[in-house]
Amino acid sequence: MKKIYLDNAATTQIRPEVIQEMVKVMSEEYGNPSSTHSFGRSSKSILELSRKSIAKCFNVSSQEIIFTSGATEANNWILNSAIVDLKVERIITSKIEHHAVLHTIEILEKKHAIKVEYVKIKPDGTIDINHLVELLSENIPTLVSLMHVNNEIGTVLDLEEIGKICKQHHAYFHSDTVQSIGKTTFDLQEIPVDFLVASAHKFHGPKGVGFAFIRKGVLLNPLFYGGEQEKGLRPGTESVHNIVGMTKALEMAYQLLEEEKKHISDLKKYTINQLQDSFDGIKVNGNPDHTFYNILNVCLPFSEAKTSMILFNLDMKGIAVSRGSACQSGSLKPSHVLAEILNDDDIKKPSLRISFSHFNTTEDIDAFIEVLKGI
Ligand code: PLP
């Protein structure tokens, strides 16, 4: 049985070229980058070349890139430090953020007695910008935390527009860019954002590594203590092989961006057409014209009774899709994102998130739809 992976918003297959680079570093460059002997200096040099290469992708300086264990850590650090170090008294966010942001804010709200406000979400899954402006008109030291591409429905935020609004209102702006880094270009000299986060496993790199972009001049303290790595901002011995893998994955993602983006966009269009031809009454969740090119979330015209069986049946045939973010996909609770945008009838029906990569083909889609028809 050929297995078909259509869950690329959860994680991605590592590129073979990335594995090759990582193996080379693991076997040959095992020095601790903090050691002053030649082994350590060599690892340190690899680390700094990686940082430089990543910074170049975003048109920023190397010192604005801090390596972390991934995006959950980077989001926690930034949200926590905004309160503790930057003294914000309010966080404005939305109910459709990833739990790495939402749950962190809920804890911080209790711990620090800050004010948390949620921007309204429109029925197509986009942010109500007028409401954001209205909230910002109240003059309180604020961090706005809004994700770039939603990991469940793929809605896209205009970072430049929101960044400008935040600047006009003297608010800091953090965006969880996990789903878009490596899949679209960013010129951070043009986008007025203070903090971004990335996770390598979302762009065909290794798991357990990511980075935070912290705008020069915004001064944060570390989330935890114990070493001087990353200029004291992120203590702990750097995972050099992972960082090298992430860098290679990002370089390749941007080198191949146009060609891979076209392939994936065509595949998404093909999937929508095939699904519409096969199932009367199928609906795309979110605005199909304004969702990101690798994520498709559909509400199937099936009975509620089939909801619990659908992923199981697909999995039995070797097909991986998801019902929401990976951490929720085993649960029968409706996703917190769909709960914000779907009506009472549609929320009971099964919705599926199909997320593509350049490794997918139209044959994968045909096989997926055949199995779905049999359910
Ligand atoms: N933010 C978003 C939007 C995500 O999709 C994910 C991954 O599922 C995360 C944060 C968490 O990233 P990591 O796996 O690096 O902790």
CA of 278 to the centre of ligand 1 (A): 33
Q: Distance (Å, rounded) from C-alpha 357 to C-alpha 13?
A: 9
The pLDDT assigned to 313 comes to 92
Q: CATH assignment of 4-12+256-374?
A: 3.90.1150.10
Q: How confident is the model at residue 257 (pLDDT cuts 50, 70, 90)?
A: very high
Q: State the DSSP string of 142-208.
A: EEEE--SB-TTT-BB--HHHHHHHHHHTT-EEEEE-TTTBTTB---TTTS--SEEEEEGGGGTS-SS
Strand partners, 226: none
Mean pLDDT, rounded, for 173-180: 98
Measured CA distances, 180 to 54, 137, 183, 255, 277 (Å) = 15, 29, 5, 15, 30
| pLDDT tier for residue 330 given thresholds of 50, 70 and 90 | low
* Ligand 1 atom with least separation from CA of 70: 15
Q: Which residue CA neighbors atom 6 of ligand 1 most closely?
A: 178
Q: Report the percentage of the chain scoring pLDDT > 70.
A: 98
Atom in ligand 1 nearest the alpha carbon of residue 325: 8
Identify the band that residue 303 occupies on the pLDDT scale cut at 50, 70 and 90: confident
| pLDDT of 329 higher than 70 | no
> How far does the centroid of ligand 1 lie from the alpha carbon of residue 69, in Å?
11
Q: Which DSSP letter does residue 291 get?
A: B
- 295-299 and 283-284 beta bridge pairing: antiparallel
Residue nearest to atom 7 of ligand 1 (CA): 10
Pocket residues: Cβ below 6 A from ligand 1:
70-72, 98, 100, 147, 151, 176, 178-179, 199, 210, 325-326
Residue 69, Cβ density class (10 Å: 0-12 exposed, 13-18 middle, ≥19 buried): middle
Q: How far apart are CA 74 and CA 69, in angstroms?
A: 8
Please identify every residue annotated as catalytic: 327
**pTM score:** 0.96
- Each residue of 105-158: pLDDT tens digit? 999 999 999 999 999 999 999 999 999 999 999 999 999 999 999 999 999 999
Mean pLDDT over 224-244 rounds to: 96
Beta carbons within 8 Å of 360's beta carbon, 6+ residues apart? 4, 5, 6, 8, 264, 267
Instruction: Name the residue with higher pLDDT: 331 or 63.
Output: 63
Q: How far is CA 219 from CA 81, 119, 222, in A?
A: 9, 27, 10
Query: In which band, very low, low, confident or very high, does the pLDDT at 331 lie, cut at 50, 70 and 90?
Result: low
Dump the DSSP string for 1-29. Answer: ---EE-BTTT--PPPHHHHHHHHHHHHH-
Distance separating alpha carbons of residues 65 and 159, to the nearest angstrom: 19
Mean pLDDT for all residues in the chain? 95
Structure tokens at 138: 């109240």
Q: What is the mean pLDDT of residues 268-296?
A: 95
> Which residue's entry shows tokens 């989001």?
75
Of 253, 219, 195, 243, give the one whose Cα is nearest residue 70: 243
Atom of ligand 1 at shortest distance to CA of 208?
A: 15
Ligand 1 centroid to residue 271 C-alpha, Å: 25
- The alpha helices in 211-348, defined as continuous H runs, are 240-255, 257-278, 307-316, 336-341, 344-348
Res 75 pLDDT > 60 = yes
Instruction: Please name the residue that has the structure tokens 């114990």.
Output: 226
Q: What is the pLDDT of residue 325?
A: 47
What sign does the CA torsion over 297, 303, 306, 308 have?
Answer: positive
- 76 in helix, strand or coil? helix
Q: What is the average per-residue pLDDT within 81-90?
A: 98
Q: Where are the domains of the chain?
A: 4-12+256-374, 16-255
Task: State what percent of residues in the chain have pLDDT above 90.
Answer: 89
At 324 the pLDDT is 57
Residue 147 near residue 175, CB atoms below 8 Å: yes
Residue 327: the pLDDT is 46
Per-residue pLDDT at 309 exceeds 90: no
Region 16-255: CATH code: 3.40.640.10
Of 68, 69, 98, which is best to mutate to test ligand 1, by the most ligand atoms within 8 angstroms of its C-beta? 98
CB-CB contact of 193 with 172 (8 Å): no
Model pLDDT, residue 332: 61
